[in-house]
Amino acid sequence: MNCTKCKTKAVIGLPRHNAAFCKGCFNGFVHDQVARAIKSEWMFGKEAKILVAVSGGKDSLALWDILLKLGYKADALYVNLGIGAYSEQSHAKVTKFTESVAASHGATLHVHTVEQEAGAGIKELAQLIHRPTCSTCGTIKRYQFNRVAIEQQYDVMATGHNLDDEAARLLGNVLHWQEEYLDKQGPSLPASVAGFAKKVKPLYRLSERELAAYAVLNRIDYIVEECPMAKGSKMIQYKEVLNRLETESPGTKQTFYWGFLDKQSKKQPTATTMAEKDRAVLHPCTSCSQPTTAEVCSYCKMMARAKTVAPH
């Protein structure tokens, strides 16, 4: 198998693009897909200050690597969830990448440790407040990323969601007809009100397999295991179904998700209408000032509850 572009020996075949690439041309292809995503979805300009949400997995570290190599100013935030060996290993991978790659581009890593603020790791915290672990985790991560982005004056927050993640999420939202989620499933969510950072997903044009290949070829050392809490999750089931379809007909995920984006772009309310809608229901939390629909935001409620029920 030879490279479609330069005809030397190829290292990866991409059936959905009907192409094969050598390492150099594959890196060029990946960088080009990210650059196209940034431009076509109006994500950010060359001078923007970007905060990348990193987990130690292949997608978020690859995203940080690609943005730095494309010449963007990108720092990162890692949230240590306190899930035993998984958190220790993922934290170590993030630190290693920061020291061996990101620091040479002048980039900084911010760290938030759940245990330090809540007095317990995510599993124990969720048990204390009687909420599912993943929804507790979602609230904490969303809150902390937004807090750091606003406090440290980043223009935009970038996450490593890839084509597989977005296609699986779309399948879940369609199967349950969750229209309010469908409306917000695009790769670029504007900062609708003061206090909310803009959020973007620059990897939505690249598949999980392509990102794993990018990480391996570029010697990015990442944590291979999924978070132990993800076991048996619906998202994993949707991904398996889509992988089966993709094997039979390459390009299925792309057609499904990109087709959705194409339809959304024709009916999407403008950024102004979305901002107007949000402004009507959001106001500052009386405890921390982050925008919320209630008097006190769900993060502050959670932390207050954890403090009252925590064993002393």
Complex with Zn ion: residue 8 or 178, whichever CB lies closer: 8
Complex with ligand SF4: residue 5 or 142, whichever CB lies closer: 142
Complex with ligand SF4: residue 134 or 216, whichever CB lies closer: 134
Residue numbers 224-263 binding ligand SF4 by CB under 6 A: 227, 229-230
By CB under 6 A, which span of 41-49, 96-104, 133-141, 297-305 interacts with ligand SF4?
A: 133-141
Among 12, 120, 137, 285, binds ligand SF4 (CB under 6 A): 137
What string of H, E and C letters represents the secondary structure of the chain?
Answer: CECCCCCCECCEEEHHHCEEECHHHHHHHHHHHHHHHHHHCCCCCCCCEEEEEECCCHHHHHHHHHHHHCCCEEEEEEEECCCHHHHHHHHHHHHHHHHHCHHHHCCCEEEEEHHHHHCCCHHHHHHHCCCCHHHHHHHHHHHHHHHHHHHCCCCEEECCCCHHHHHHHHHHHHHCCCHHHHHCCCCEECCCCCCCCEEECCCCCCCHHHHHHHHHHCCCCCCCCCCHHHCCCHHHHHHHHHHHHHHHCCCHHHHHHHHHHHHHHHHCCCHHHHHHHHHHHCEECCCCCCEECCCCCHHHHHHHHHHHHCCC
Contacted by 6, from Zn ion, ligand SF4, none: CB < 5 to 8 Å by type: Zn ion
By CB under 6 A, which span of 62-70, 132-140, 273-281, 285-293 interacts with ligand SF4?
A: 132-140
Write down the least CB distance from residue 137 to ligand SF4, Å: 3
Q: Does the protein bind ligand SF4 through residue 53 (CB under 6 A)?
A: no
Complex with ligand SF4: residue 132 or 269, whichever CB lies closer: 132
Q: Does the protein bind ligand SF4 through residue 79 (CB under 6 A)?
A: no
Q: Does the protein bind ligand SF4 through residue 138 (CB under 6 A)?
A: yes
Residue numbers 85-124 binding ligand SF4 by CB under 6 A: 122
Write down the least CB distance from residue 205 to ligand SF4, Å: 23
Among 134, 182, 261, 310, binds ligand SF4 (CB under 6 A): 134
Q: Which residues bind Zn ion (CB under 5 A)?
A: 3, 5-6, 22, 25, 285, 287-288, 297, 300
Backbone torsions φ then ψ of 304, nearest 5 degrees: -65, -40
- What gap in Å lies between CA 269 and CA 257, rounded to an integer? 19
Complex with Zn ion: residue 99 or 117, whichever CB lies closer: 117
| Cβ pair 301, 219 in contact under 8 A | no
Write down the least CB distance from residue 255 to Zn ion, Å: 26
Of the candidates 102, 94, 55, the residue with the CA atom closest to the CA atom of residue 74: 102
Complex with Zn ion: residue 16 or 301, whichever CB lies closer: 301
Name residue, tokens 């403090």: 307
Among 133, 146, 173, 188, binds ligand SF4 (CB under 6 A): 133
Q: How many residues bind ligand SF4 (CB under 6 A)?
A: 8
Write down the least CB distance from residue 227 to ligand SF4, Å: 3
Of the candidates 56, 83, 65, the residue with the CA atom closest to the CA atom of residue 137: 83
Q: Which residues here bind ligand SF4, judged by CB under 6 A?
A: 122, 133-134, 137-138, 227, 229-230
